[in-house]
Amino acid sequence: MSSTASTAASSGTGIRRRKRRVEPIYYLFLLPSLVLFTLAITVPGVIGIFFSFTDSIGLGEWSFTGLTNYIALFSDPAILQSYLFTFGFSVATVIVVNVIAFLLAVGLTSRIRMKAGLRTVFVIPMVISGIVIAYVFNFLFSNSLPAAGSALGIPWLSTSMLANDDLAWIAIVIVTAWQAIPGTLLIYIAGLLSVPGEVYEAASIDGAGKLQQLVRITMPLVAGYAVINVILGFKGFLNAYDIIVGLTGGGPGTATRSIAMSIIAGFNGGDYAYQMANATIFFIVAVLISLLQLSLTRGRSAL
């Protein structure tokens, strides 16, 4: 009996080992991507981190300066302003995008006519270039809205929001959300469609109204999708660049300059090593957010 069990165990172990074996051909297909990733991303990244400890301007001679660039970053008002704006803008946009996308998803998965057509319409902004969207909205905020404000006698609307230090960020949030909502909407629709209809039928029999079903059934069951949308959205908005360039160019002054804009402006202005230190800090922040995402989404069945 014991020998039979031993034989079965050995056979099972052998099967598991055979299943774990990876064919060499898979490594052959992986090699080109690995080489391209290394040459295009890893090597330039390592070189950039190396030069962040120097006084290089991007070409010519250079010398080591140690942590000078990193120390200067934390006392530079312009850099601190860019981080403050970027994180504040990202938080505000994540909230706006997820609230609107969730409500639209609830509406587009309910029993309404032309659901398929409406879903197509709402997805259109996702396929348009960010810089094109920014230039279109730039015209609206700079010309159409001020003209409407003057005609209606609304003083604060009679001038361009993009030229106002206190309102320019709101315009950026509006335009960024307009482009980002479709992607978030699709994920919420997938989450809502995965909820069994029997759950709602049982809740209706128990006397639960539509609002109670939304709060006590729908929202808890799509919480995993919400976490993924929030984390992915926040990471994406931290890299905001093209829409801001097309709307305000970082202005008025530097009021809406993002981290990405500061880094690229430094590269073009001969401040290579300093902005490489800034990019390294930004990379560390992105990695920490990615680790947070993994910890929050590990074990969830969403997606």
Residue type, 179: Q
Residue that is written with structure tokens 């165990």 in the block: 9
Please tell me the distance from the alpha carbon of residue 56 to that of residue 204, in angstroms, as a whole number.
Answer: 68
* pLDDT of amino acid 301: 47
Say if CB 137 and CB 175 are below 8 A apart: yes
* pLDDT of amino acid 126: 83
Residue 266 pLDDT > 70 = yes
pLDDT band of 258, cuts 50, 70, 90 = very high
Q: How far is CA 55 from the centre of its chain?
A: 32
Please tell me the distance from the alpha carbon of residue 139 to that of residue 17, in angstroms, as a whole number.
Answer: 64
Residue 237's nearest CA partner among 35, 89, 99 is: 89
Radius of gyration in angstroms for the set of CA atoms belonging to the chain, rounded to a whole number: 26
Please tell me the distance from the alpha carbon of residue 266 to that of residue 260, in angstroms, as a whole number.
Answer: 10
Q: Is 61 left (phi over 0), alpha (psi -120 to 50) or beta?
A: beta
Please tell me the distance from the alpha carbon of residue 163 to that of residue 161, in angstroms, as a whole number.
Answer: 5
Of the listed ranges 96-110, 198-212, 231-245, the least confidently predicted one is 198-212
What are the pLDDT digits (tens) for 72-91? 998 899 999 999 999 999 99
CATH 1.10.3720.10 domain range(s) in the chain: 72-297
pTM over 0.85: no
Please tell me the distance from the alpha carbon of residue 111 to that of residue 113, in angstroms, as a whole number.
Answer: 7
Instruction: Please give the backbone phi and psi of residue 49, each rounded to the nearest 5 degrees, phi first.
Output: -60, -40
Residue that is written with structure tokens 């120390």 in the block: 71
Residue 53 pLDDT > 90 = yes
Instruction: Assign domain 72-297 to its CATH superfamily.
Output: MetI-like (1.10.3720.10)
